[in-house]
Amino acid sequence: MQDILSSKSYDPPEPMALLKEYVQRRYHRDSTVRQERDCLILTVRGSSLAATLQLERERIIEACNLKQKLVIRGR
pLDDT digits (tens, 9 = 90+) for 7-66: 666 655 788 999 999 999 999 999 999 999 899 999 999 999 999 999 999 999 999 999
Supply the CATH classification number for the domain 12-74.
Answer: 3.30.70
Contact yes or no for 61/31 (Cβ under 8 A): no
**Amino acid sitting at position 71:** V
The C-alpha torsion from 61 through 74 and 31 to 54, rounded to 10°, is 20
Main-chain dihedrals φ then ψ at residue 38, nearest 5 degrees: -110, 20
For residue 26, what pLDDT is reported?
95
Q: Rounded to two decimals, what is the model's pTM?
A: 0.81
Domain residues of the chain, as ranges? Answer: 12-74
For residue 33, what pLDDT is reported?
95
For residue 14, what pLDDT is reported?
87
Nearest to 44 by CA among 35, 55, 33: 33
For residue 8, what pLDDT is reported?
64
Strand 69-74 relative to strand 39-44, pairing: parallel
Contact yes or no for 19/43 (Cβ under 8 A): no
For residue 1, what pLDDT is reported?
65
